Structure 1
Amino acid sequence: MVELLLGMGLLVALFVGYNIGGSTTGPAFGPAVGSGVLSKAGAAALMSIFFFIGAWTLGRRVATTLGKELLTRPGIFTMETSIVVLSFIGLALFVGNFFGVPASTSMTAVGAIAGLGVASNSLDWAIMGEIAVWWIVAPIIGFWISGMIGRYLYPTLNRWVAVQSTEGDLLTFDRSGILPRPSLGPNTTRREVVGAVVVVSIGCLMAFSSGTSNIANAIAPLVGVGVAMNPLILLGSAAVAVGAFTIARRTLDTLGNDITDLPLTAAIVVAVVASVIVTALSAIGIPASFVIVATMCIVGLGWGRATRTVTVSEGIRGEEKPNVSVGALTAEEPGEDVPEIGEEEPEDIPSAGDLFDPSTTGRVILMQNVVPILSTVGAYAAFRLLFTFFW
C-alpha cells in the first residue's frame, strides 16, 4: 500500500513538473527561437540544463521551506495529504490556463500547503507572513526598478541593443566531417552575434531562475513526507525537460504569453530584473512568482516610458518652459500608427495609454491572485472535511 501511494505521489509530482516545463520554456527562449538563433530542440535542451542547475543549487532551499518549515507539525505531511496538495496545485493551474492567464505556480503551491496547514492547525504563521510580505514587496521593487530604467535609461539601452538583421542564416554548418562545424553566415555582423548571445543568455538566466523557485512546487509535499530530496530534484527536473521537449513547442510557436511579446530591449530589461529578484528570494528560501514580478516589471517599464518628461522651448522668445508631461506632447492623430516599446526612436515617446492597457493589466493581475486563492480555499475545505470525518 505504501509503495502504491508513493507511486501515485511521484506521478502527480511528475505531472506538475511536466506542466512547469511546458509553460516556462516559451517565455524564457521564445525570443531566441522566434529570431532563428535557436531551434526548439536547442531551447528545450538549454531549458533542461539551466532549470536543473537552479533546482540543484538554490531550489532545495525553497523546497525545504515549503516541505519542512511552513507547517509546524512534522507528521502532517503524509503520502495521502501530499497527493491531495499536489492535485490542487495542478487543478488550480489548469484554471489559470483555461482563462489564458499564466498563473503563479509558487503562489498556488504555497496556497495549497497553507490550506492544509490552516485546516490542521499546523501553519507556521511567522514564515507564512514573511513569504506574504515578500510577495507584496517583490513586485513593487520590480515595478520601480523597471520604471526608473524606462524613465531614464531606456533610450540609451535601446541604442545599444538594437540589432539590424541581415539576410541569410546567422550560422552555417560544415557537415563534411564527423561533427558539424559552425561558422558565421556570409552576411552576419558582429553586432548580430552579440545580440544573439544576449538573447540566449537571458533565456538561460530565466531558466535558472525558474529552477530555483519552481522545483519546490512539484516536490515540496513529498519532501515533507520524508522522501530524499536529491532523487526528487532529479525526477522533477526530468519531468520539466520532458515538458520542454513536448508541450513547450506550442508556447515557443507563439513566443510565450507574457514578456516575450515585447521588443528585444524591453524583454531584456524585464527578464533581467525579474530573474534577479526571483533568484535572490530563492537564495533566502522564499518561493517567488516570476510571472507576477515580470508582469509588474512590464507595467513599470511602460509607466516609466510614458511618464518621461522633456523640456520644450517657446521658440519665439527662446525661453524654456518647465517640464511638461510627454503624454500631452505626443497625442496621435486618429489612425496614426503607434510604435511599440523599444521600436520607436528615443525622441518619439508614446503616451501612457499606448504603452500598456490598464484594464488588461488589471484582469491579468486579478486572475493571477484568484488562482492561488482557489488553491488555498479548495485545499482548506477538502482537508477540513477529511480531518473532520476521517482523521
Structure 2
Amino acid sequence: MIEAAAFAIAFFFAMNIGASGTAAAMGPAYGSGAIKRKRVAMLLVGACAWLGALAGGEVVRTIGEGILPPTVMQMEVVVIVLAAACFTLFFANLIGIPLSTSEVVVGSLVGAGLAYQALYWQYLLVIVSFWIVIPFAAFFLAFGAEKTIKKYQAHLPFLRGEGKWHKPLTFILIACGCLEAFSAGMNNVANAVGPLVGVGALDVTTAVIAGGFFVALGALLLGGKVLETNGKHITNLSLLQGSTVSFTGGALVIIASIFGLPVPLTQITTAAIVGIGTAENGFVLWQKSVIRRIIKVWIVSPLFALAVSYSLILLFRSQDYYTLVVIVSVFIATVGAISLYRSVRQDKEQTMRDGEGI
C-alpha cells in the first residue's frame, strides 16, 4: 500500500514537473511568436523532455543517494518527501508561477534529513551554491549577448530577422527551445523518481523511462499557464533574443546534468529572460510585479517544502506532537503578522488618500 502511494505521488509529481519546468523551456519560442499555437509548443516540450530524461541517470543517482544516507531512505520517508514536494509544486502551478522543482524536492529531502539528523552536508552545500551561481551566470550571459546583438544589429540584417532571414531565425529559436526542453528532462525527471531509486523501488533505467513519460504528459496537460507566464508576462522577446535565452539555459543545465547536479532550470530560464529585458529596457523591468512575485516564491518554496516534510515526519514517524505544534504555531503567527502588516499599511494609505494624515 505504501509502495503504491509512493509510485502514485512520484508520477503525479513528474506531471507537475512537466508543467512547471519543461513547459517554461518553450516560453521564449511561444512569447516571440515563433510558435503561435500553445498546444504545439507543449507537444514539442513533452517529446524533447522525454528524450532528455533518458540521459538523466547521473542526476537521478544524486537525488536518490547523494543527499540522504541509505539508512534514512525508507519507503515511508520517500512518500512523505514526495508528498511535500508535490504539494508545493502543485500549488505553484495553480497560480501560474514557474517554480524550481529541484529546490522543492531538495528542500523536502533536507526536511527529512533534519528530522532524522542525517544529511550529506558537504554535497548539499555544493548543490545550493550552484543554485545561486548558475542563474546569475544565465543573467549575465544573456545580458552580454543582448548588448552585443544591439551593437551590430543595425549593420547585419540577419540579427534583425528581416526578410529572408525570418524563417531561419524561427527555426533556430524552436531548435534552441527543444534543446532546453531536452535539458529539462535530463535534469528534472530525477526530482520525481530519484527517491524511488534511492529506496530501491526502481532501477535507474526504468525510473528515467517512466518518469520521462509522466513529465511529458504533464507538459501537455498542465503546462499552459506557466508557458503563458514565462512567454508573455515578463518581457516580449524577438526571435534572436528567444534563441539566446533558450540556448543559454539549455547549455548550462546540460553541463550541470553531466556532473549529476540538480539545478533550477526555471530560475535559469527566467534569469536569462530578465537579462535580455534589462539590457534592452534597463532596470525598469524589475519593477514589474510578476518579477517580484517569482523571486518571492523562489525563496519561500524550498523552505516551505522543508517545513512540510519535516512536520509530516514528526507527525507520522516520530510522533513528536509538541514540536509539530510549535511549527504550526510559528506558521500561523507568521501568516497573521504578514496579514496584519498589510492591513495597517492599507489603512495608512487610505488615510493619506482621504487627506486625514496631512
**TM-score bracket for the superposition, by shorter chain length:** 0.7 to 0.9
Q: Does 1:61 align with 2:58?
A: yes
The residue identity in structure 1 corresponding to 2:112 is L
CA contact (8 A) 1:25 1:252 kept: no
Structure 1 residues 41 and 142, CA gap change in structure 2 (3 angstroms): closer
1:389 to 294, 319, 336: 319
Q: Does 1:125 align with 2:121?
A: yes
Once the two structures are TM-superposed, the CA of residue 374 in structure 1 deviates from its matched residue by 0.1
Q: Which runs of 4+ in 1 moved over 4 A?
A: 30-34, 36-42, 249-261
Q: Does 1:134 align with 2:149?
A: no
Measure, in 2, the Cα distance between the counterparts of 1:387 and 1:5.
Answer: 14
The residue identity in structure 2 corresponding to 1:200 is I
Once the two structures are TM-superposed, the CA of residue 287 in structure 1 deviates from its matched residue by 0.5
What aligned pairs does 1:275-354 form with structure 2 within 5 A after superposition? 275-303=250-278, 305=279, 341=280, 350-353=281-284
What is aligned with 2:190? 216
What is aligned with 2:48? 50
What is aligned with 2:336? none
The residue identity in structure 1 corresponding to 2:293 is R
Q: How many residue pairs end up in the alignment?
A: 316
Gaps of 5+ in 2: 321-358
Measure, in 1, the Cα distance between the counterparts of 2:266 and 2:51.
Answer: 20
Q: Does 1:96 align with 2:26?
A: no
The residue identity in structure 1 corresponding to 2:26 is F
Gaps of 5+ in 1: 165-188, 306-340, 342-349
1:364 to 286, 294, 297: 294
Structure 1 residues 360 and 249, CA gap change in structure 2 (3 angstroms): closer
Once the two structures are TM-superposed, the CA of residue 132 in structure 1 deviates from its matched residue by 1.1
Q: Does 1:156 align with 2:157?
A: no
Bigger Rg, which one: 1
Structure 1 residues 26 and 49, CA gap change in structure 2 (3 angstroms): closer
The residue identity in structure 2 corresponding to 1:143 is F
Once the two structures are TM-superposed, the CA of residue 231 in structure 1 deviates from its matched residue by 1.6
Measure, in 2, the Cα distance between the counterparts of 1:204 and 1:47.
Answer: 6
What TM-score does the superposition give when structure 2 sets the normalisation length? Answer: 0.78
- Percent identical among aligned pairs is 30
CA contact (8 A) 1:16 1:218 kept: yes
Q: Does 1:71 align with 2:84?
A: no
What is aligned with 1:20? 17
Structure 1 residues 148 and 32, CA gap change in structure 2 (3 angstroms): closer
What aligned pairs does 1:104-253 form with structure 2 within 5 A after superposition? 104-156=100-152, 159-164=157-162, 190-226=164-200, 227-249=202-224
CA contact (8 A) 2:34 2:170 kept: no
CA contact (8 A) 1:28 1:207 kept: yes
The residue identity in structure 2 corresponding to 1:273 is T
Structure 1 residues 157 and 137, CA gap change in structure 2 (3 angstroms): farther
Measure, in 1, the Cα distance between the counterparts of 2:224 and 2:272.
Answer: 26
Once the two structures are TM-superposed, the CA of residue 230 in structure 1 deviates from its matched residue by 1.5
CA contact (8 A) 1:93 1:103 kept: yes
Measure, in 2, the Cα distance between the counterparts of 1:157 and 1:27.
Answer: 27
Instruction: Give the structure with the higher percent helix.
Output: 2
The residue identity in structure 1 corresponding to 2:168 is V
The residue identity in structure 2 corresponding to 1:49 is A
1:267 to 211, 227, 242: 242
The residue identity in structure 2 corresponding to 1:266 is Q
CA contact (8 A) 1:62 1:285 kept: yes
Structure 1 residues 258 and 104, CA gap change in structure 2 (3 angstroms): farther
CA contact (8 A) 1:47 1:241 kept: yes
Measure, in 1, the Cα distance between the counterparts of 2:133 and 2:225.
Answer: 33
CA contact (8 A) 2:139 2:271 kept: yes
Measure, in 2, the Cα distance between the counterparts of 1:383 and 1:197.
Answer: 49
Measure, in 2, the Cα distance between the counterparts of 1:71 and 1:231.
Answer: 22
The residue identity in structure 2 corresponding to 1:52 is W
Secondary structure in 2 matching 1:285:
coil
CA contact (8 A) 1:104 1:292 kept: yes
What TM-score does the superposition give when structure 1 sets the normalisation length? Answer: 0.72
CA contact (8 A) 1:259 1:267 kept: no
CA contact (8 A) 2:39 2:220 kept: yes
Secondary structure in 2 matching 1:75:
coil
Residues 257-276 of structure 1: CA deviation (Å, up to 9, x unaligned): 67784333322222221221
Once the two structures are TM-superposed, the CA of residue 241 in structure 1 deviates from its matched residue by 2.2
2:5 to 8, 12, 17: 8
Superposed CA RMSD: 2.7
Measure, in 1, the Cα distance between the counterparts of 2:252 and 2:84.
Answer: 27
CA contact (8 A) 1:25 1:43 kept: no
Residues 222-263 of structure 1: CA deviation (Å, up to 9, x unaligned): 111112122221111111222233233555567746778433
Measure, in 1, the Cα distance between the counterparts of 2:223 and 2:92.
Answer: 17
